[in-house]
Amino acid sequence: MSSTEPDSVEPEDGNQAITVERVDGEDRYEIRVEGRTAGYTAYRDKDGQRIFYHTEVDKAFSGRGLSTTLATRALTDTREAGRRIVPVCPFVADYLKKHGGFRDITDPVTPEALRSAPGA
């Protein structure tokens, strides 16, 4: 996934096009429904780690599983980029507890990681 190549996701309801894109200039991944930004997960890259510190989905899009889709694609892209995951964001931390496929590249949240995460 690159900042210019969105990753298409099969819509769960079969009706709306959903894409996830890494926006490098803003250090975040965005999920879009029919071209409209529905949510994002923000990160900070530091020393081979991708520190995820905030995730949100617009209330107008809640209940569609978009947060899970967003996390899956963002964490998969992090793996593909050769980075390790630091889950400062409570949503990402909960996702990782439920989905064990990223344990091998997940690092604990440290005081240094917290200092690197704006607003954390």
Domains and CATH numbers, the chain: 7-116 (3.40.630.30)
CA 92 to CA 45: how far, in whole Å?
16
Which among 22, 25, 20, 24 is positioned nearest to 10, based on CA atoms?
A: 20
Report the predicted TM-score, pTM, of the whole model to 2 decimal places. 0.86
DSSP helix/strand/coil, 78: helix
Residue with token string 């995730």: 55
Q: Give the per-residue pLDDT at 11.
A: 45
Q: Could you report the per-residue pLDDT of 16-46, keeping only the tens digit for each? A: 799 999 999 999 999 999 999 999 999 999 9
Q: Could you report the per-residue pLDDT of 93-115, keeping only the tens digit for each? A: 999 999 989 999 999 999 999 99
- Phi, psi angles (nearest 5°) of residue 17: -75, 130
